[in-house]
């Protein structure tokens, strides 16, 4: 098994800090303000706490040497309305291999089938076609545009908001196994 998904572990902090250290402009918008080892440890602890509380599912995308190279995540899980907010990212050197798309399809299946979450939502900058392609490959449908929604380095960006419902047709494509160990 070359690539798979698994829960983040405390001992992933150094690998996460290394990813942060190599972050490009696209990844910088998805990582904590503190990209140090301490910041990585704090993110991992915060994520573990949120998972224990039922509001988050965070899965490391693991490749090759069993080191994390990315993340697929559901946050703001709302049991009353059966919704969640989805995000994903990859280290720059792991892009272009279909890992984000395969990981997202797997996360979506897990959220719909195992956790019973009905509606999944996400957003991406309209000037980020790679992120749009990942969302589309996992069956997300664009529902609208939010003008000047995000602010990065003094520039405002429009976003497209997309959703996927449990009853929507399942997209074809490779999925990464979710491994528990």
Domain map (residue ranges) of the chain: 4-165
Spatial CA neighbour of 65 closest among 127, 144, 4, 141: 4
DSSP, collapsed to helix, strand or coil, labels residue 78 as strand
The tokens describing 69, both together, are: 């190279």
Max avg pLDDT among 26-40, 59-73, 133-147? 133-147
Taken in order 177, 59, 62, 106, the sign of the CA dihedral is positive
CB 136 within 8 A of CB 120: no
Residues of the chain with pLDDT > 90, as a percent, come to 85
pTM score:
0.94
Q: What are the residue ranges of helices labelled H in 70-175?
A: 99-109, 129-137
Least confident of 12-16, 29-33, 118-122, 123-127: 29-33
Spelled out in words, what is the top-level CATH class assigned to the domain 4-165? alpha beta
Q: Kindly tell me if the per-residue pLDDT of 181 is higher than 70.
A: no
């Amino acid at each position: 098994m070359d690539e798979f998904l698994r829960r983040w572990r405390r001992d992933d902090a150094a690998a996460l800090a290394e990813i942060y250290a190599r972050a490009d402009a696209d990844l910088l918008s998805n990582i904590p303000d503190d990209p140090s080892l301490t910041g990585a440890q704090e993110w991992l602890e915060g994520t573990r706490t949120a998972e224990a509380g039922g509001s988050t599912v965070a899965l490391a995308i693991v490749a090759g040497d069993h080191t994390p190279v990315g993340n697929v995540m559901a946050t703001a899980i709302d049991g009353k309305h059966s919704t969640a907010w989805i995000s994903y990212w990859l280290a720059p050197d792991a892009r272009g291999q279909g890992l984000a798309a395969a990981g997202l399809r797997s996360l979506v299946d897990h959220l719909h089938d195992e956790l019973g979450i009905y509606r999944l939502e996400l957003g991406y900058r309209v000037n980020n076609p790679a992120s749009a392609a990942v969302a589309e490959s996992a069956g997300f449908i664009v529902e609208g545009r939010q003008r000047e929604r995000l602010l990065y380095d003094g520039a405002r960006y429009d976003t497209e908001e997309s959703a996927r419902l449990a009853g929507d047709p399942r997209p074809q494509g490779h999925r990464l196994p979710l491994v528990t160990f």
